[in-house]
Structure 1
Amino acid sequence: MKLMERFRLAHLTLRNRIVSTAHSEQLAVNGLITPHLEGYHLRRARGGAGLIIAFGSASVSATAANRFNPALWDPENEPALRRMADAAHAEGTPLIAQATHRGAREVIADPDQEHVAPSGGAGFLPSGTPRVLNKEDIASLVRDYADVARRLHRCGWDGIEVTAYGTHLLEQFWSPVLNRRDDAYGGSPENRLRFGSEVLRAVRDAVSGDFVVALRMSLDTRTRRLGLSRDDLLDIAGHYDELGVVDLFDVVGSSSVTADGAVGTVPTADYPRGVYRELAARARSRLRAPVLVAGRVLDAEQAEDVVTSGDADLVGMTRAMIAEPRLAAQIHAGTAELARPCISINEGCRRVGASLTLACSVNPEVAHPELAETPLPVDPAGAGRTVIVGAGPAGIEVARVLGRSGLAVVVLEQDDSVGGGIGYALLADPHQVRQYRRWAERALSEHGVEVRLGTRATPSVVASPTLERVVFAGGSSPALPPWLESAHYEVRTDADYLAGAWEPAHDSDVVVYDPEGYSAGSVIALRLARATDRKVTLVTPLGSAGGQVETPNRIRLTKGLLRSAVRVLPYTELIRTDDSKLFLRNVVTKDTTELDAGSTVLGCGYRSPDEEQLVSLRAACPHADWHVVGDASSPGLIRHAVTGGSRLAHDILRRLGTG
């Protein structure tokens, strides 16, 4: 495969063309690099990545200090930087750091500190009216970039990626809308590019030739608000290429100027796979320096096509490697089918937008690095047999981890396929969900796990005197609360609708009640509203529909709702009176409106574990060590089930190893 061929990047020789591109980890603490952050990138180096570009939006200046991103201007980070470089190099992977100043877009650690920008009045950026940078400020920032480059080089890093992407300060200077200066840094295109030119030259001049300088930029902002066309952006790339100071162009698309544009910076599942390939191809036909492309490149076949077609020299497979750190090594070994796939749900990797640490729905070690550690050695012969009831996300994870350690594991699944609740990942890429099911089957088989499909766990099945332990991962079932179930209305659950067990009449009035604020309420309301004669109202006590959904998918859902006939009532709860009538009550004003008697109510998120089955199974096998995990313990998200399954398996192995 050309994807796995060595590639010469400036002075570096990459072992393959797979790159983990910069992305927000939110794993720093007060700007300091943590062991969690170090280990996160080291696992991808161990997994065979050709190049790692670490630290999404690491700051170059105290004027852009963000407590969750590394402060590359802070000398206290030097020991960690040295450890990271040494560890990555020991695994054969070069390491580059993204460094930036986000200007008026920055979320500054000190809320009382002023923001800065090329010009004032940048009203669509989150900080309101920033202070305008003067020439001394600009010169100071250029020195900051150079100082960071020297620090990285001194600590053994292989390069720096200066980024304009996401409407960072460089892009703010490029924009004739955001940059209305009348000095040497504004006005003509050449003047607006001057700050970027000075930064790139300063970085290049600050260190010797054995140091890569990369530039990350959008070649299509997908908005007119910046005043930069696709041709303008390609000309900007061409300008910096002609300066001879950029060794690598990291090409992506969209911008963070609008809410919809911000979604495109980390594309959701409704974006096409390889969404920015065409932009990379345009860049590669124009530029002398190599081109890297990122954006929903999710598997080896797709990545191979990118490089063999000549669209790009290097391929970012970042979210694929969040899900599977060993992806590159598995591709190299010819076992790519054993790579855990990203399902493109954005449920974990984009919670960073809410200032939460990076996570992954299918890979628990991202948020919980202790689950990446090698379990204590155990004697499989003395560990006994384990039966796992349910092959949903939690059951799969328990079986996989125990099977990997050599334990005898049997999985009982009443359906005819594995995956369970993964099928209700409504915002995920359906193709990737199918890939997840296939991966689970292969991974369990690879580790010797016996999976019995179409087999319901009954007392007679588990009543075995040789059974050492039982893990009940049987999931949950719809369970309406009594106050809603007994109301004088037709009441259904989200599960009824999603499973195809119920469909309202085309001319009916449906109230979708979503008290939890995840994706189901919005997705179901949109689907129901496709019938033109149906009146659909989405009710939630939260401040917005999908209030618990991470930002990119929430914007995606909000756009759909705004363009639909769905009536959305935020800050509204559903209550019942003593005579079994239902009312809509605004939680702020306390105003109430009686629900029409002919309305159908669809409740979202009402689930409970199947305790009756658990009790009967336990009674049949009282001698076994029993565990309950996933939705069978506490119904939640896919991420919760997978993490719970991994944690339980590690706990079992730890007890076996120390017992």
Structure 2
Amino acid sequence: MTRPTSNDPLLAPFTLGKLPLRNRIVSTSHASMKDDGGMPGARYQAYHEAKARGGLAMTMIGGSAMVSRDSSWGGGQLDMSDDRIVPFLQQLATRIHAQGAAVMTQISHLGRRANAFHGDWRPVIAPSPIRETRSRGFPRQMDRDDIDRVIADYAQAARRARDGGLDGVETLCGGHLIGQFMSPLANRRTDAFGGSLENRGRFGLMVHEAIRKAVGDDMTVGIRLVIDEGTEGGLTAEDGIALAQMFEREGLVDFFDAIYGRMDSDLLLSQDNMPGLFQPDAPYLASVARFRAETTLPLLHAGGIRDTATARHALREGIVDLVGMTRAHLADPHLVQHLLDGTEERIRPCVGASYCLYKKATCIHNAATGNELDIPHEIAPADTPGRVIVVGGGIAGLEAARVSALRGHDVVLLEAAAQLGGQLALAARAPERANLVGILDWRLAELTRLGVELRTNILAEPYDILSKNPDTVFVATGGMPDFDDIEGAEFCHSTWDMLSGTVRPAARVLIHDGTGRAPAPSCALFASKAGSEVIFTTSDGLIGQEMPYQDNTGYRKHFAEQDIRVMADLDLIRVTRNGGTLTARFTHCFSGKAVDIEADQVVIEQGTQPLDGLYHALKGSETFNARLHRLGDAVASRDIHAAIREAYVTAMRT
């Protein structure tokens, strides 16, 4: 076991403005969607308290917390525009401070990113009447009355944060209003707020001057500043440095929170701002280092830093003073406590799946995160430990075995295949999804540590279970590819066949997706890179309808770059063989017309049908008296999180 040392930069204290912090690890502001009508109620408070209890230095609340009534995107933000939030902030601050952590909030005006068709239907305002692709609103150009009103709203929001007992506030540039004034892509004004960089930065300086007057010099104030928009015609790295130096000269802020890129569309947001499936870890550190060399204020950065090794590197190289590990804390809110306990190897890894952005503040492989009022992070020992048998070594079975062992049960896991991991191990064979293996590796390490007996190459029959006289049996036998409704399915392959390497791509490959999930698009990219001509059909209206927008846009981008033909709204009816060629017959979902496509190979993804024979055999046995549970795809075809959550909750109650 490795013990933390005094020279671990992650655990070194730091003072931000006048705010003492116990270490260098922060969870940055994000829209958790845990609010109650814009208020940080019990769910919201419990979510942030779990991270504070886990040892981080500071949790930042209020991703895009609205300072004005015309800054709503339709729900899910904290509402800092009204004094009614103050008592909620006081409750939250008390809970966070009791755990030894600091808490501050982000306050912002969305500008052209707001939704004009929500609440009281106020028009969208912006520096210039330029539409943003992602939000789709048509903004009205702000006049001086609008500018003065919004500046005052920022000041009042900051005052509410102070009255609520918070330790500080930060504003947000990026695609939000302050950043819209700064960016030449969103600001075409010819008055004192447009044209030169100095003019475009004026609104942000005026906002911060008003904030400082409202909260005084003792409260920490920062700005989440775009250091480079990374787009031709946008803010350059030199512009980002110049803007930062303006704020430094005025002495209005205590720190910079450096972000990169734009968020005007799903694609820009996923490839240039919030790194997802197709992005490497910590992709913006080089840009942050360049910015750091030309500025003097303390610096925070949180772009895709998912592991402690990368975080240490950023600190040791002097790139940042504070490291934002926001998504890493969704995976493991006790990350810092593991460092303090010398159990760093037990940190549940963030695998960059972006599930937390799809199902807000829900980690793909931590069932408790965001659900603290209903699902505890801590696993209590069982009142009466017993013997548990888990059948199936996919992700649901592994999680049930892990939780059962932590509860003190004697656990044996039986798996029919030679290796553990099931569909998750298969999914991780796609290069763009390789990080998913971290979900599997972490559980295997935990099961080894806990002494769980893992037995592979065993196709369990009812007598195998009955002979061991268990107290509890979890059947997590998964499913098999669902081809039931397709005539000519014998001529087709599953995505499992291609991802496993059992089947190599042919010259012309037709891949049909009936799920909206990742396996079919992954196969399409694999086949295309292997040199195949690929046609991708889907029953949905677009690729990846059930994916986070980062993944969806990433696949669409790579499909376009590789000239993969996409045909949407098609239901597969049958496949016939004509010599060496296959013909797939589809029906168009809207027109009802028949569509025939020829290919050398047809690959189908339509989810799975449960392999539940063992479950029903045990359930119907007169001699079986143990508690019996069915988990994961042995129940129905779902995703990774659903399988883990079901296993976690069920095993916690057993």
TM-score above 0.5: yes
CA contact (8 A) 2:86 2:160 kept: yes
Distance 1:139 1:249 in 2: 24
Q: CA deviation at 1:299?
A: 1.5
Question: Which string of whole-angstrom CA distances, capped at 9 and with x for unpartnered residues, describes residues 53-90 of structure 1?
Answer: 11211111111134211101122222221111011111
CA contact (8 A) 1:61 1:144 kept: yes
Q: CA deviation at 1:578?
A: 12
- Which residue, 184, 194, 212 being the options, matches 2:202? 194
Aligned to 2:594: 592
Q: Secondary structure at the match of 2:628?
A: strand
CA contact (8 A) 1:525 1:536 kept: yes
Q: CA deviation at 1:428?
A: 8.3
- Which residue, 544, 553, 556 being the options, matches 1:555? 553
Question: Which string of whole-angstrom CA distances, capped at 9 and with x for unpartnered residues, describes residues 339-371 of structure 1?
Answer: 11111111x2111xxxx5431110111243211
Aligned to 1:245: 252
Closer/same/farther in 2, CA of residues 491 and 344 from structure 1, 3 Å limit: same
Aligned to 2:472: 469
Closer/same/farther in 2, CA of residues 303 and 202 from structure 1, 3 Å limit: same
Aligned to 2:4: none
CA contact (8 A) 1:280 1:292 kept: no
Q: CA deviation at 1:245?
A: 1.3
Aligned to 2:3: none
Q: Which amino acid aligns with 2:146?
A: D
- Is 1:501 the equivalent of 2:508? no
Aligned to 1:656: none
Q: CA deviation at 1:409?
A: 2.0
Q: Which amino acid aligns with 1:117?
A: A
Closer/same/farther in 2, CA of residues 627 and 368 from structure 1, 3 Å limit: same
Give unmatched runs, 5+ long, in structure 2.
Answer: 1-7
Aligned to 1:276: 284
Q: Which amino acid aligns with 2:326?
A: T
- Which residue, 365, 368, 371 being the options, matches 2:375? 371
Aligned to 1:262: 269
Q: Which amino acid aligns with 1:572?
A: L
Distance 1:364 1:19 in 2: 22
Distance 2:310 2:83 in 1: 41
CA contact (8 A) 2:311 2:323 kept: yes
Aligned to 1:36: 43
Question: Which string of whole-angstrom CA distances, capped at 9 and with x for unpartnered residues, describes residues 453-481 of structure 1?
Answer: 44443334322363111001121122311
The alignment covers a number of residue pairs equal to 637
Q: Secondary structure at the match of 1:222?
A: coil
Question: Which string of whole-angstrom CA distances, capped at 9 and with x for unpartnered residues, describes residues 258-288 of structure 1?
Answer: 4421103210132222212112212222222
Q: Which amino acid aligns with 1:544?
A: L
Q: Secondary structure at the match of 1:181?
A: coil
Question: Which string of whole-angstrom CA distances, capped at 9 and with x for unpartnered residues, describes residues 493-525 of structure 1?
Answer: 1111112221243x2x32211111111222211
Question: Which string of whole-angstrom CA distances, capped at 9 and with x for unpartnered residues, describes residues 288-319 of structure 1?
Answer: 21111111212212211110111111111111
Aligned to 2:364: 361
Percent identity between the two aligned chains: 30
Closer/same/farther in 2, CA of residues 133 and 397 from structure 1, 3 Å limit: same
- Is 1:528 the equivalent of 2:527? yes
Closer/same/farther in 2, CA of residues 607 and 255 from structure 1, 3 Å limit: same
Q: CA deviation at 1:450?
A: 3.2
Closer/same/farther in 2, CA of residues 612 and 578 from structure 1, 3 Å limit: same
Q: Which amino acid aligns with 1:132?
A: Q
RMSD: 2.4
Aligned to 2:514: 515
Question: Which string of whole-angstrom CA distances, capped at 9 and with x for unpartnered residues, describes residues 75-109 of structure 1?
Answer: 22222211110111111100010110010012353
Distance 1:633 1:130 in 2: 48
1:173-212 to structure 2, matched below 5 A, reads 173-212=181-220
- Is 1:538 the equivalent of 2:536? yes
- Is 1:442 the equivalent of 2:441? no
Distance 1:577 1:641 in 2: 32
Distance 1:336 1:81 in 2: 32
TM-score (norm: length of structure 1): 0.91
Q: Indicate the larger mover: 81-90 or 57-66.
A: 57-66
Q: Which amino acid aligns with 1:436?
A: I
Give unmatched runs, 5+ long, in structure 1.
Answer: 653-659
Question: Which string of whole-angstrom CA distances, capped at 9 and with x for unpartnered residues, describes residues 395-451 of structure 1?
Answer: 222222222222222222344554333224457866643433332123224444333
Q: Secondary structure at the match of 2:541?
A: coil
Q: Which amino acid aligns with 1:468?
A: D
- Which residue, 142, 153, 166 being the options, matches 2:151? 142
Q: Which amino acid aligns with 1:606?
A: G
Closer/same/farther in 2, CA of residues 215 and 595 from structure 1, 3 Å limit: same
Q: Which amino acid aligns with 2:325?
A: M
Q: Indicate the larger mover: 555-564 or 362-371.
A: 362-371
Q: Secondary structure at the match of 2:566?
A: strand
Q: Indicate the larger mover: 322-331 or 298-307.
A: 298-307
- Is 1:162 the equivalent of 2:171? yes
Aligned to 1:657: none
Distance 1:428 1:106 in 2: 36
- Which residue, 49, 52, 76 being the options, matches 2:56? 49
